[in-house]
Chains A and B, each alone.
Chain A
């Protein structure tokens, strides 16, 4: 029966022709797209998680003279925090290091043009309490936490994940429909042959097996192609962002996902198979 299965499978694949090719390509696009978005989300979240262990807060002070007493008060209230007072001169120096093209202009400005800052590095868990503490202090005019943009980026990553997953699901649904139609067309064109095979004693597994195999092959081939495309994309991104990494499990999961979608499409396509009386 194995030879029969292999021969029939080859025939179904050959007869599915261009439509089968479209199913494979669509599957490749869906799996590589979904994989790329998941990889981007994983990497982004990994990066955020790595940085998320600590948050930094920058407080702008009304007067440079208040920076040291405030630092002492802060360390007394939050002993685990690390606080650094930056006088206006140090602030000017730091801004000049970020923007060297305006360094000369900055050097010409009076020191009083720059605020005194208090830089605090704190555990993420303590960040809301510490931010609230700083904001409540009269000597602090503004307090800005890195958690704000981290949170926004996290929300963006989450949204990216949802949108990506939805788009991949729609594409995979499209693949399922294409495989379903290919199998249905094959079944319809082989209706006479299927009836004959039944009349001479072929069991359902022998009849349905090659069609299911055909759907699985489309999915497997599409998923494998998708994995290759994704691997190429990752290599491309890594040449630009060396820290970008891909979980190999994600890459390996694409062919089985494709195969599962192909199998589901083939099973639905075989619903049209005429039944025995």
Chain B
């Protein structure tokens, strides 16, 4: 599902990722961890093609991300569900519209959009906030809307950047359980987090980054 070969990325000459080589099989659940500035978000941005590597090869869901046309990039992103660290909700749209927008890109009928939006929001405990605007929601609620938007189109791959960053422990646990459940149904999930306790409570394959290098590929938290 994901293949990285000797990936290098730097910003203004400052290296953010140095020679990352790894792969994630379809159906895996993987944590990506490391301290702040270790390169987690940069790696995720490369995976949803918001950035291009300076060097190396990135393949996601069978697509080589270098050399894609704009149209191909749009089609590729529709196959992913991305939970952004800063939520990236559309401020001028309601919660329902934020989620249905993704479905409208996939040409899902209006009726089906309404059904899926309601079911997904119910799953996230937000069905009563359907008509609210993002600015009217708490940080935790916005994060759950962002998760709902990533899940609604049942993507092949979910990339989540600190998805529990603004949630209380109970909601964090619920979200992780939800992601696990989706993973059991065959979706590949990659969660970037610096929260070691989250990994400890939901042990899975964990990739650890340190100053842009992949220093560990193992199960659960490093001893």
* A3 neighbours in B (Cβ, 8 Å): 104, 110
A201 touching B75 in the complex, CB below 8 Å, given contacts A193-B92, A196-B88: yes
**Interchain CB contact under 8 A, A277 and B52:** yes
Interface residue B29 (Cβ < 8 Å from any Cβ of A): no
A200 touching B92 in the complex, CB below 8 Å, given contacts A206-B105, A276-B70: no
Shortest CB-to-CB span from A15 to chain B, Å, is: 9
Interface residue A202 (Cβ < 8 Å from any Cβ of B): yes
**Which of B50, B52, B78 lies in contact with A201, CB distance below 8 A?**
B78
Interface residue A159 (Cβ < 8 Å from any Cβ of B): no
Interface residue B51 (Cβ < 8 Å from any Cβ of A): yes
Interface residue A109 (Cβ < 8 Å from any Cβ of B): no
Count of chain B residues near A, Cβ 8 A? 29
Interface residue A198 (Cβ < 8 Å from any Cβ of B): yes
A85 CA to B217 CA, complexed, in Å: 117
**Interchain CB contact under 8 A, A201 and B105:** yes
Closest 10 CB pairs of A and B: A201-B78, A201-B77, A203-B74, A196-B88, A4-B104, A277-B52, A201-B74, A201-B105, A276-B70, A193-B90
* A206 neighbours in B (Cβ, 8 Å): 105
* A7 neighbours in B (Cβ, 8 Å): 97
Indicate the member of B71, B84, B88, B91 with the most A CB atoms within 10 Å. B88
Chain A facing B: main interface SS: helix
A198 touching B107 in the complex, CB below 8 Å, given contacts A193-B90, A193-B92, A277-B52: no
**Interchain CB contact under 8 A, B50 and A199:** yes
**Which of B77, B80, B104 lies in contact with A1, CB distance below 8 A?**
B104
Shortest CB-to-CB span from A74 to chain B, Å, is: 79
**Interchain CB contact under 8 A, B71 and A204:** yes
A7 CA to B48 CA, complexed, in Å: 27
**Interchain CB contact under 8 A, A197 and B90:** yes
**Interchain CB contact under 8 A, B88 and A202:** no
Shortest CB-to-CB span from B113 to chain A, Å, is: 9
**Interchain CB contact under 8 A, B78 and A199:** no
